[in-house]
Amino acid sequence: MKKVSVGVDIGGTNTAIGVVDELGHVLTKDNISTPDHGNINQYIDELAGAIKTLITNAKLMNENIEIVGIGVGAPNGNYYTGTIEYAPNLSFKGVVQVVRLLRGHFPDLNAIALTNDANAAAIGEMIYGGAKGMKNFVMYTLGTGVGSGIVVNGDLVYGHDGFAGECGHTTLIPGGRICGCGAHGHLEAYCSAPGMKRTAFELLAKYNAVDSPLAKYSYNELTSKMIYDAAMDGDKVANEVFELTGKYLGQGIADTIHHLSPEAIFLFGGPLAAGDLILKPTKEAMEAHLLPIFKNKIKVLPSKLEAGDAAIVGASALAWKELEK
Amino acid sequence: MKKVSVGVDIGGTNTAIGVVDELGHVLTKDNISTPDHGNINQYIDELAGAIKTLITNAKLMNENIEIVGIGVGAPNGNYYTGTIEYAPNLSFKGVVQVVRLLRGHFPDLNAIALTNDANAAAIGEMIYGGAKGMKNFVMYTLGTGVGSGIVVNGDLVYGHDGFAGECGHTTLIPGGRICGCGAHGHLEAYCSAPGMKRTAFELLAKYNAVDSPLAKYSYNELTSKMIYDAAMDGDKVANEVFELTGKYLGQGIADTIHHLSPEAIFLFGGPLAAGDLILKPTKEAMEAHLLPIFKNKIKVLPSKLEAGDAAIVGASALAWKELEK
């Protein structure tokens, strides 16, 4: 029998589902809408139906597979309680019992678990990716927000109440940019996709850069993809956006290292497509902030999870991790 | 039989040794000089002799005691290797094999271990103090430097190479004060005893505070004790030193919380004698920097370890912790 697990990634608009083998390969996948009606029971019924259909399809492709569990990644997902709690971008209000409801549909599966997206990505890196065999590492996910997952002694750190790993909300610059959470100067306000846009607008203003291709777009139009394209075309402003983003990120990563002394930091997300354009300034800033005992020994690595399926694959890894217990 | 452990605190000048019972009471204690000659073998011979004498004395006082182990706290102490590594304030150069040499003198004791002072304090808090029963907490020690010990799931976090828990070297203010380690803006440069003195001098200059009692002292004369006394006498500058120190510390603690989601933060050291003068601004600044999911639920508590014996008691706790394995 070939063992496989199911990964579910609950996003604001879509829920992606995949059947994933022990090597992290997606055998088959599907999408359903994450509803805007907020009725969790109805949604979980739909989700369970879609998972069952997908499993049936996977078995048609290969009748020797055995489902070992379901891992779910979701914003504000709490591993301890199996609930999504007060997720601002989902229609479910308050605390919703995702794992308990799923268990009702899959009573024979022991390994059903949920965590937030960044934690799922970290577990994915550990089970399938570049962190295989590592016992202490931290994953930063750069996207609309900045998430993180912390692994200590081979286990994800959930903290007292399940919410550990919010490195995106450490303070980089006291009194600095307003973060989406309302506080000032958080890393997320500098290193997320919107953070990079904010940096681009600051630099356009600073240099009065009328010749930059970025000068053609309104604040609401400019995307991080446009900044990336301009940087690849050699635009000075766009290149400096990556340089500053790396500088900010490196400062934050140094704080993480001083807390946890990890073997490596993994970076995941769109900006990593720029390679050394983001990695080099990140490493330089990180090293500049480190104590001598940490200098020149902590690796900063791009994630080995494939961008397209990373959320499903990361979530599926949670099921394997559960089986280790 | 009453079980006891031996705690050893290796400082730059003195090495304190104590026999400690399971409740954290020091039964008997002694001091030897930490040598300036750097000969580790000779020093460990002396230390082992002093420990044996102390054990003999403890047995004279109470013949029903049984020694379960020896815990050692030392600057740059590495738990994994049992070594002190490149400690700037000790005369031992390079990497010295403290645990291996001690084992030679105490072949019958299994629980001999070493860690740095702040980690030892955290374990002391967990075994004897206010963190009893807590699985996730962080201890900050405020003194000549700022140390920290991180506990996750009931275990001290040592990280990849044994050096985790250097929260004193997270960056509070990019480009800010030069830290003892050479980097800029680290927490230690603001919240240590010298950091408080630096804040006092900045404030004296800012307010041209000729009437402050602190204005009588040179930079080399002023101590944190003088600042404390002046604050207790109602001096405005000295009070603002505590307020700013709390503000800096609260920002750093918020970063720690965003990493680890602990149940509580414990604070240890001289400034805690000022009570709410330091605790109140610390808590306020911490709350202001936190994500909503963390607000108003994480305790900030003064350590329950007694200041005088805390280093010995903390180190002795490491032996009990070893026995749990």
**Does any CB of chain B come closer than 8 Å to the CB of residue A161?**
yes
pLDDT in tens, B209-262: 999 999 999 999 999 999 999 999 999 999 999 999 999 999 999 999 999 999
What local confidence, expressed as pLDDT, does residue A38 receive?
84
Which whole-number Å values give the CA distances from A8 to A63, A70, A213, B126, B277, in the listed order?
Answer: 22, 7, 39, 38, 49
Label residue B150 exposed, middle or buried (CB < 10 Å: 0-12, 13-18, 19+): buried
Residue B63 has pLDDT above 90, yes or no: no
Per-residue tokens: A268: 């995941």
At residue B325 the predicted structure's pLDDT band, cuts being 50, 70 and 90, is: confident
What local confidence, expressed as pLDDT, does residue A306 receive?
83
| C-alpha radius of gyration, chain A, whole number | 20
Q: Best residue in A171, A186, A299 to probe B by mutation, most B CBs within 10 Å?
A: A171
Percent of chain B's residues with pLDDT above 90? 90
Question: Closest Cα partner for B53 from B34, B26, B35, B29?
Answer: B29
Residue in A with minimal Cα distance to B152: A159
What local confidence, expressed as pLDDT, does residue B179 receive?
95
The domains found in chain B, sorted by start residue, are 2-129+308-323 (3.30.420.40), 137-302 (3.30.420.40)
The distance of A134 to chain B (nearest Cα, Å) reads 9
Residues of B in contact with A291 (CB under 8 A): 166, 169, 181, 183
**Does any CB of chain A come closer than 8 Å to the CB of residue B86?**
yes
pLDDT in tens, A149-191: 999 999 999 999 999 999 999 999 999 999 999 999 999 999 9
Please state the rounded mean pLDDT for residues A94-118. 95
Q: How many CB atoms lie within 10 A of CB B161?
A: 18
Per-residue tokens: B297: 């639920």
Query: In this complex, do A291 and B171 lie within 8 Å of one another by their Cβ atoms?
Result: no
**Does any CB of chain B come closer than 8 Å to the CB of residue A293?**
yes
At residue A88 the predicted structure's pLDDT band, cuts being 50, 70 and 90, is: confident
d(CA A162, CA A77): 8
Residue A112 has pLDDT above 90, yes or no: yes
Smallest Cβ distance to A164: which of B166, B261, B288? B261
Residue B202: φ, ψ to 5°: -60, -40
Residue B114 has pLDDT above 90, yes or no: yes
- Sorted by sequence, the CB contacts under 8 Å of residue B301 that are 6+ apart come out as B130, B264, B265, B266, B267
Residue B89 has pLDDT above 90, yes or no: no
Residue A131 has pLDDT above 90, yes or no: yes
pLDDT in tens, B188-214: 999 999 999 999 999 999 999 999 999
Query: In this complex, do B86 and A293 lie within 8 Å of one another by their Cβ atoms?
Result: yes
**Does any CB of chain A come closer than 8 Å to the CB of residue B147?**
no
At residue B170 the predicted structure's pLDDT band, cuts being 50, 70 and 90, is: very high
Q: DSSP string spanning A180-232?
A: TTS-BSBTHHHHSHHHHHHHHHHHHHHHT-TTSGGGGS-TTT--HHHHHHHHH
Q: What pTM, to 2 d.p., does this model score? A: 0.94
d(CA A158, CA B18): 36
Per-residue tokens: B51: 């420990």
Please state the rounded mean pLDDT for residues B138-167. 96
Query: In this complex, do A152 and B159 lie within 8 Å of one another by their Cβ atoms?
Result: yes
